[in-house]
Amino acid sequence: MELIPAPRAVDGPAGPGVPLGEATTLWAGPGTERTERWLRATLGAALGLPLRPGPRDARGGIRLLLDDTLAPEAYRLDAAAGQGVEIRGGGPAGVFWGAQTLRQLLGPDAFRRAPVRPDTAPGVPQQAVEDAPRFRWRGLLLDVARHFMPKEGVLRYLDLMAAHKLNVLHLHLTDDQGWRIEIERYPKLTEIASWRARTKFGHRASPLWDDKPHGGYYTHDDIREIVAYAAERHISVVPEIDVPGHSQAAIAAYPELGNTDVVDTAALSVWDTWGISSNVLAPTDATLRFYEGVFEEVLELFPADAAEFSAFVHVGGDECRKEQWARSLTAKTRIADLGLADEDALQSWFIGHFDAWLSARGRRLIGWDEILEGGLAPGAAVSSWRGYAGGIAAARAGHDVVMCPEQYVYLDHRQAPGEDEPVPIGFVRTLEDVYRFEPVPEGLDEAEARHVLGTQANVWTEVLEDAARVDYQAFPRLAAFAEVAWSALPAPAERDYADFERRMTAHYRRLDALGVAYRPAAGPRPWQRRPGVPGRPIEGPPPNR
């Protein structure tokens, strides 16, 4: 069987399959309504099946029901000739993941938007599939700040995530190069901070520029639509508003947010190149009140009950340069008034303020592993990106962790050492490398390992100028990552990569049907290359765990 991610157990196939046709009915028990809607709208449209409501015992029909003997995201799919297809889930999400498996069993045509073989009756192999995820948090970060992804692209990626049983979309909404979410009380964030006059093409050392203005943002209703669309697919959307660094776009719109005593912030514009800007937020009460206003609107748009991890709000906290604070009398005064040791402690105070602010509103702060420096409130969680060390430290301190080390699961890193790879960035991370990634660090005891909520692949878009480039960097590696996050795989060296490659042969046809511009196994197609555009390749193997 060619399922991705691989299920825990399969019995069969044995005997004839289960045909689906005009007469096939769909019965949905209480709590399965989202999957019922998805099956009719997506699977029904792809195969030209009406999937009319019918009784539970309809011969040859599809049945959806909850089963409290299963874990919340676990499911059991039974397909038997004469009986039909039954999907039991421990919770609504489990039923939905079972429906995703059903779609794969029906072949690549089930991934299209309309029938291409209307005279061919689809069928489900006769078998039983039992499955459950290894990790609760199975995430994908989309950086929509560096290069904006219009709403339709985000909705498309939610569908691609659902097809791979991923359940957390981390939206990186703000950075030096752009602000992508409407905040009604601060209109200049979209009037000024949401676009830049030009864009560096390639790595920041590249001499090339795209002189076309670049920008865009999501309105309140766009965000509500994204969150609702995700919730229908049992996906949590975690927004990231980056503080106190990566904030030049916001300062360009509201210069009083910056360190005005050392920089003429009124002369700043949204940054048009890559790297880490030295223009960071000033540690003032006015800045805190401004961002509290931002987060108040963010909490309204991203309700805590939308899906499992919807209570989380990401505050960034990474790569905050301290040169301006070191020269700023305002910053020095704040350090003295608070009795802090230095500028590093000032950043910890800044993050701690929003940790307490979010906690008081029933939300959970999550940030990059730099937020560990100086201590965290007990409920805060950590995205471990600078290797495994941050995740290990966080877990041992009792904090929940999402493992996303850049050396393994930053999908903007190049996929092969060849010169044809477009804008080569970072380490070579092949499909096999991602398949052998292990999210749980060595050295954690059982209690500490339970703090690893799961794992996440990150797609940063400095050199990904459009949707086709995002597809190329994400796929097929995101399929390997999805299996690492979902399936109960053995230790990395013992994983059957040859079997995964065999199953990918079928999965490429599904990706074709979905219109994904993935990197072919043989290398980039001519139009996927970017000849003459410099990158930043890193030679040698990544650090060990």
d(CA 181, CA 159): 21
Enumerate helices (H) and strands (E) in the chain, giving the number of each: 18, 25
Point out the catalytic residue in the list 246, 399, 413, 507.
Answer: 246
Point out the catalytic residue in the list 143, 175, 222, 240.
Answer: 175
Nearest alpha-carbon partner for 439 in 453, 451, 455: 455
For 52, phi and psi rounded to 5 degrees?
-70, 150
d(CA 122, CA 20): 6
Q: Which two tokens stand for residue 335?
A: 């350090």
Q: Which two tokens stand for residue 381?
A: 């969680």
DSSP bridge partners of 174: 179
Q: In what order do the strands lie in the sheet with 25-28?
A: 9-11, 127-131, 75-80, 84-89, 62-66, 25-28, 52-53
Point out the catalytic residue in the list 225, 261, 319, 420.
Answer: 319
In the chain, the amino acid numbered 58 is: A
d(CA 268, CA 256): 11
Assess whether 399 carries a catalytic annotation. Answer: no
Assess whether 246 carries a catalytic annotation. Answer: yes
Q: Which two tokens stand for residue 424?
A: 């080569």
Strand stretches in 106-175, DSSP E: 123-124, 127-131, 137-143, 168-172, 174-175
DSSP class of residue 408 equals H
Residue 323, classified by CB atoms within 10 Å of its CB into exposed (0-12), middle (13-18) or buried (19+), is middle
CA atoms lying within 13 Å on the CB side of residue 29? 17
d(CA 310, CA 149): 21
d(CA 377, CA 494): 38
Strands 381-384, 9-11: pairing kind: unpaired
Strands 75-80, 127-131: pairing kind: antiparallel
Q: Would residue 99 be called left, alpha or beta, if left means φ above 0 and alpha means ψ between -120 and 50 degrees?
A: alpha
d(CA 420, CA 171): 30
DSSP class of residue 372 equals G
Assess whether 119 carries a catalytic annotation. Answer: no
> What is the SS3 assignment for 197?
coil
d(CA 399, CA 410): 23
DSSP class of residue 82 equals T
Q: Count other C-beta atoms under 10 Å from residue 406's C-beta.
A: 18
**Residues with a known catalytic role:** 175, 246, 319
